[in-house]
Copies of this chain bind each other. A is one copy, B any other.
Amino acid sequence: MKIVRSVREMQAESDKIRRAGHVIGFVPTMGFLHEGHLNLLRIAREKADRTILSIFVNPTQFGPNEDLNHYPRDIERDETLAEEAGCDILFYPPVEEMYPAPFRTAVTVAEITQVLCGISRPTHFRGVTTIVAKLFNIVKPHFAVFGQKDAQQLIVIKQMVRDLNFDIDIITGPIVREADGLAMSSRNVYLSPEERKEAVMLYKSLMAAKTLIDSGERNADAIRAELERRLRQAKTAKIDYAEIVDTQNLKPLETIQGEILIALAVFFGRTRLIDNIQVSV
């Protein structure tokens, strides 16, 4: 596995791969890799001739009171895991390489970034779309794989790709869960033993919502009430949102119909976790 740290070198590598007629699959991450990331890498490997994984803890997608400085990092472990999973090139740029001063450009997506996570994290998606646009221009992939766990991010990125005509397929990797159902996340390491135990309520409440829908419930408020009732059973939990929205425009639904997204963001102590399921009715 080759490790590349400069933008120019990464672009030259990708040019070389493309000129040879090979397909580039790309998995952008913030590192501290877990099984969820490695699964994205495996999906990429199946469809690509060369797989590129990026590790960059992007400062612009963190708010001023968020966990940028404490975000878990372990590049040596990440290198081993990425290589074992068959990654061909690890792109791991320093912050100065990605944001040379004076940096003045942003990519923004309207409307669908103002709801769900966008309410408590108003600058988050602007940071995400800007860094992903940059990474696309640096890595020049034919397709990129993003995890379904960040459901809103995935929808926002698909909108950006469509609007800015990036010639890149966006592929979705499924949520990978711990044995008890907790969605894998680099942030799970923040949890105290009690919070860790209670965090499974994210998944349990989603499953309870699905059971209600499967049994014929079509009133979104009734399902929201059940989500909140379950989540409140966890003493360390503080709900940021528990929403049922349309997968296209992320608008809250009154009636369960079509392709719906049930999305949760909940603090366990100081750690904010997200989870979701999509249901087709």
The interface of chain A, by Cβ under 8 A from chain B, is 7, 11, 15, 18-19, 21, 100, 102-112, 129-130, 133-134, 137-138, 140, 159-160, 162-167, 249
Contact = CB atoms under 8 A, between A and B. Distances in A.
25 contacts: A11-B167, A18-B18, A102-B111, A102-B249, A104-B109, A104-B110, A104-B111, A105-B108, A105-B109, A105-B129, A105-B163, A105-B164, A106-B107, A106-B110, A107-B107, A107-B108, A107-B164, A108-B108, A130-B164, A134-B164, A134-B165, A137-B165, A137-B166, A138-B167, A140-B167
- Residue of A19, A108, A112, A138 ringed by the most chain B CB atoms within 10 A: A108
B163 A138 contact: no
B111 A137 contact: no
A270 B164 CA distance: 33
B160 A105 contact: yes
Given A19-B19, A104-B110, A105-B109, 15 more contacts: A100-B162, A102-B249, A103-B163, A104-B109, A104-B111, A104-B159, A105-B160, A106-B107, A107-B107, A107-B133, A107-B164, A133-B133, A134-B164, A134-B165, A137-B167
Q: Main SS of the interface on chain A?
A: mixed
A21 to B, nearest CB: 7
A133 B164 contact: yes
Nearest to A104: B110
Contacts of A11: 165, 167
A126 to B, nearest CB: 9
B111 A108 contact: no
A19 to B, nearest CB: 7
Contacts of A19: 19, 21
A94 to B, nearest CB: 14
Contacts of A102: 111, 249
A110 B103 CA distance: 9
A167 B135 CA distance: 11
A240 B165 CA distance: 35
Nearest to A7: B165
A140 B15 CA distance: 13
Contacts of A137: 164-167
Contacts of A109: 104-105
A19 B21 CA distance: 8
